[in-house]
Amino acid sequence: MGQTLAEQILSRAAGRPVSAGENIVARVDLAMMHDSISPSIIKILHQELGAEQVWDRDRVAVVVDHVAPAATIQNAEHQLALRRWVRQQQITHFFDVGRGISHPVLVEEGLARPGMLILGSDSHSTAYGAVGAFGAGMGSTDMALALATGQTWLRVPETVRILARGRFRPGVGAKDLGLRVARLIGADGATYQSVEWHGVEELSVGERMTLATLSIEIGGKAGIIPPTGPGWEEHAARRGIIAPSWLCVEEGARYSRTVEVDLDTLEPQISVPHFVDNVRDLSELGRVEVDVVYIGTCTNGHANDMAAAARILKGRKVARGVRLLVVPASSEALQQATADGTLATLLEAGAAIGTPGCGACIGRHMGVLAPGEVCLFTGNRNFRGRMGSPEAQIYLASPEVAAATAVLGYIAHPAEVMR
Amino acid sequence: MGQTIAEKVVSHHAGRQVMANEIAIVAIDGAMATDATAPLAIKAFREMGGVRLWDPSRVVLVIDHAAPAPNEQVSNLHALMRAFGREMGCVLYDVGEGICHQLMVEYDHVRPGQIILGADSHTPTYGALGAFAMGVGSTDLAAAWLTGKTWLKTPASIKIVLDGTLRTGVSAKDLVLFLVRQIGADGARYQAVEFTGSAIRSLSLASRMTLANMTAEMGALTAFVDLQGLDLPYRFDPIHPDPDAVYSVVYSFNVDHLLPQVAIPHAPSNVVPIDEVAGTPIQMAFIGSCTNSRLEDLRAAAAVLQGRKLAPGVRLIIAPASRQVFMMALQDGTIATLTESGATFITAGCGPCVGTHQGIPGNGENVITSTNRNFRGRMGNPHASIYLASPAVVAASALRGVITDPADVL
């Protein structure tokens, strides 16, 4: 009998063949924590678990990304305490203010690799599935336990298979696929399951991260894209990464469900307030005027996302009365955008650029929304109050739709601008 | 009797001959307010029964102090400003355009000989263009919005004659820090400061803005930098003081041997030559503010950091003065150089200068910054220590992790 990718990874992590439904104790390859949750994790680690040292200082990554640079004294204090802790524990992999969002950073640094079990103190840790890892978000106590012991316990999840067929039409991409799946199966459609994305071999690792991060928005425990295809090979060659031969899509693997999406007919998808799975085709939306367009986050703040937006914004200006905020997912994405002219295009169009990191995604700084404001957001969550005022409206869409919307002032198809 | 530049400008705008200490009502040429002050001015304007601005094309609103909004309270104030701007049809620069004073100059809202009011203490910056520019409170600004006029006591003037040539690695910031030390935090209180002398002639507009900007730290009402040697894209008649104009004090300095200067905690006038503080550890470095975040400032930092990496444990945050500065720095490779060294960019605007967001220091941290004020708590945390210096000193210090003379690394 074949295994799903999740079963393969967790079998290796457990040191024995395991299958869906089993409870296992597994070895953790990498544990990530960020500035937002670290104070409680550190407290539990030392005070409640009594551990003096992390289990392996080379397998812990610490990232300052959630409110960076610090917006309040409290943030500054937490970040200072975190830096001291990193020095005291001699943590090898520490990424301070401005390096970017934990998930792309760990991928860029080659720390996240295919076949790994990676735990993160962040719900979008499913992101590591973009490079064929089993990435899962966990709470402070589980994270502290993993830091202390290098182990965690898990129930091996069942797997939902997403099967994309055909090719994306112009102006349609990974974000639309992800939102389409949320629409098809709902926010709890894959609760505690692994989401395997098939038929997306062409997608770059940046685009794969869009799908992997959105996997949590349908309840996924992990979201894994098989590390094959041209998009993967480009990343693997550049970073010198070889996917383990035991990690491959196997005949006879058991899926709880297969969800098919026809890319040939897929049009831009818009998630309307206030739930991620409240998704409509752009053509069904009607006219929605916006105050803010925000391009960023671990879902769609990558170099490819900014470049996609820049192709539409090139030679055009942001509509009067609309502000366009662009927050690169990482310093590497910013550097690439600097080198290839994307950043110049965005600035010329009228964008305000923010420090690489989580930005306003969680409503804690760098673009908090006022009551009544409407925001077109390339992020992953549009819950009431997510980006500030509970009376603000957040629509989720792709960077291409974001760029077209910034130019026209209302939520628009990229073709409306490009024609 | 001869007149100073301030007396001439005030006389011209009052429509009569006015001398120092006389109270005059003057027509103004422009009024600027930021997200820190416009909301109060809007309230005052409404309370005065204001329904329209005296001249919307001369009223500029800038969202720069806490932009993008760090919390819902601020986002509400921004929304209020946008609504007021739309209703009144005045000029509004939104999030990411840059710092108010930079935009006033870049977008040609200020010209030599004008009187400009700004609801911001660093409004004397426009003295770099020979304008009489002064900071006012929100209520005075609201009255000016309504009437196009303001009242003022014509200031007495201090003349500072600067001769010689600044050494390589020594900049207008070092010069003005030195002068703040000499004149003191209240040495120019409610006065106009005239800068002249051979050392001024070679200074760029950006450097002249640095010089004029920090006269606020001497208590000055306004400043005038000699326009000699300044190229502007339009014709103008420089206003010269009369030879027999009366000054409260005249200072003369030769700048040939000036060293980089650092203002140590907790006052901008608490200035020492760099060798007295070199070696002090720093954890955070900031290049930004209306004092020093223009293209030449970013280039000065890039010249120090080119091909090198920041010291471990140091974060260098940079806020370009404006979108235009950001774009120019992008085109000439300055941004790439700085980014490769490990520097982090924040949105063009005031950034952490006023301690509202985007880089609040932690307790006990030392910050070296190209800004203009190091009062206790200025950057948001009363338990941090702030050192003011030039962009080159900030960059050299970020490179070494301790306060460093750029001459030691170049």
Cβ of B16 under 8 Å from any chain A Cβ? no
CATH 3.40.1060.10 fits B157-254, yes or no: yes
Is A314 strand, coil or helix?
coil
B263-408: CATH topology is Aconitase; domain 3 (3.30.499)
DSSP characters over A22-63: -EEEEE-SEEEEETTTHHHHHHIIIIIS--SS-S-GGGEEEE
Please give the pLDDT value at position B248.
Answer: 98
Q: Identify any residues that bridge with A260 across adjacent strands, giving them in sequence order.
A: A163
Please give the pLDDT value at position A249.
Answer: 97
B352: which chain A residues are within 8 Å (Cβ-Cβ)?
Answer: 69
Please give the pLDDT value at position A153.
Answer: 97
Q: Please, what's the b/e burial string for A106-132 (b: 16 or more CB within 10 A of its CB; e: otherwise)?
A: bbbeebbbbbbbbbbbbbbbbbbbbbb
Question: Using the 8-state DSSP alphabet, how is residue A378 labeled?
Answer: -
Report the gap between the CA of B90 and the closest CA in chain A (Å).
13
- Tokens matching residue B233: 């894209």
Given this chain, do its domains B5-152 and B263-408 carry the same CATH topology?
Answer: yes
Q: What is the mean pLDDT of residues B392-402?
A: 98
With a threshold of 0.90, does the pTM exceed it?
A: yes
Cβ of B328 under 8 Å from any chain A Cβ? no
Q: How far, in Å, CA of A65 to CA of A383, rounded?
A: 21
Query: What's chain B's Rg over C-alpha atoms?
Result: 20
Residue that the structure tokens 């490990």 belong to: B342
Which of A87, A293, A347, A375 is the best substitution to test chain B (most B C-beta atoms within 10 A)? A347
pLDDT at residue A87 above 90? Answer: yes
pLDDT tens digits for A57-71?
999 999 999 999 999
Q: What is the mean pLDDT of residues B207-231?
A: 97
Three-class SS string for chain B? CCCCHHHHHHHHHHCCCCCCCCEEEEECCEEEEECCCHHHHHHHHHHCCCCCCCCHHHEEEECCCCCCCCCHHHHHHHHHHHHHHHHHCCEEECCCCECHHHHHHHCCCCCCCCEEEECCCCHHHHHHHCCEEEECCHHHHHHHHHHCEEEEECCCEEEEEEECCCCCCCCHHHHHHHHHHHHCCCCCCCCEEEEECHHHHCCCHHHHHHHHHHHHHHCCCEEEECCCCCCCCCCCCCCCCCCCCCCCEEEEEECCCCCCEEECCCCCCCEEEHHHCCCCECCEEEECCCCCCCHHHHHHHHHHHCCCCCCCCCEEEECCCEHHHHHHHHHCCHHHHHHHHCCEECCCCCHHHHCCCCCCCCCCCEEEECCCCCCCCCCCCCCCEEEECCHHHHHHHHHHCECCCHHHCC
pLDDT tens digits for A140-193?
999 999 999 999 999 999 999 999 999 999 999 999 999 999 999 999 999 999
Report the gap between the CA of B85 and the closest CA in chain A (Å).
10
Report the gap between the CA of B391 and the closest CA in chain A (Å).
19
pLDDT at residue B251 above 90? Answer: yes
Nearest to A95 by CA among A358, A338, A301, A352: A358
pLDDT tens digits for B75-89?
999 999 999 999 999
pLDDT tens digits for A323-352?
999 999 999 999 999 999 999 999 999 999
Crossing angle between the packed helical segments A205-214 and A174-185, to the nearest 10 degrees: 20
Q: What is the mean pLDDT of residues B16-33?
A: 98
Percent residues over pLDDT 90 in chain B: 100
Angle at A94 between CA A91 and CA A97, to 5 degrees: 150
Residue that the structure tokens 């041997």 belong to: B257
CB atoms closer than 10 angstroms to residue A50: 8
Q: What is the mean pLDDT of residues B298-319?
A: 97
B70: which chain A residues are within 8 Å (Cβ-Cβ)?
Answer: 71, 364-366, 368
B361: which chain A residues are within 8 Å (Cβ-Cβ)?
Answer: 70, 76
Cβ of A365 under 8 Å from any chain B Cβ? yes
pLDDT band of B259, cuts 50, 70, 90? very high
Cβ of A242 under 8 Å from any chain B Cβ? no
Interface of B with A in 51-80 (CB under 8 A): 67-72, 74-76, 78-79
Number of A/B CB contacts below 8 angstroms equals 154
Please give the pLDDT value at position B1.
Answer: 83
pLDDT tens digits for A182-228?
999 999 999 999 999 999 999 999 999 999 999 999 999 999 999 99
Please give the pLDDT value at position B348.
Answer: 97
pLDDT band of A419, cuts 50, 70, 90? confident
Interface of A with B in 68-97 (CB under 8 A): 69-73, 75-77, 79-80, 83, 87, 96-97
ipTM: 0.92
Whether residue A69 and residue B348 make contact (CB cut-off 8 A), yes or no, is: no
Q: What is the mean pLDDT of residues B341-349?
A: 97
Which of B347, B365, B366 is the best substitution to test chain A (most A C-beta atoms within 10 A)? B347
B331: which chain A residues are within 8 Å (Cβ-Cβ)?
Answer: 344
- Tokens matching residue A105: 């950073």
Please give the pLDDT value at position B47.
Answer: 98
Q: How far, in Å, CA of B15 to CA of B219, rounded?
A: 27
Which chain A residue has the Cα nearest residue B85?
A321
Interface of A with B in 97-116 (CB under 8 A): 97-98
CATH 3.30.300.130 fits B5-152, yes or no: no
pLDDT mean across residues, chain A:
97
Which of B314, B344, B350, B376 is the best substitution to test chain A (most A C-beta atoms within 10 A)? B344
Whether residue B381 and residue A348 make contact (CB cut-off 8 A), yes or no, is: no
Whether residue A370 and residue B86 make contact (CB cut-off 8 A), yes or no, is: no
Question: Using the 8-state DSSP alphabet, how is residue A264 labeled?
Answer: G
Residue ranges of domains in chain B: 5-152, 157-254, 263-408
Which of A66, A291, A365 is the best substitution to test chain B (most B C-beta atoms within 10 A)? A365
pLDDT tens digits for A42-57?
999 999 999 999 999 9
pLDDT at residue A1 above 80? Answer: no
Cβ of B39 under 8 Å from any chain A Cβ? no
Domains contained in chain A, CATH given: 5-261 (3.30.499.10), 270-418 (3.30.499.10)
B90 is in an annotated binding site: no
Report the gap between the CA of A364 and the closest CA in chain B (Å).
6
Q: How far, in Å, CA of A312 to CA of A318, rounded?
A: 11
pLDDT tens digits for A230-261?
999 999 999 999 999 999 999 999 999 999 99
pLDDT mean across residues, chain B:
97
B350: which chain A residues are within 8 Å (Cβ-Cβ)?
Answer: none
Cβ of A389 under 8 Å from any chain B Cβ? yes
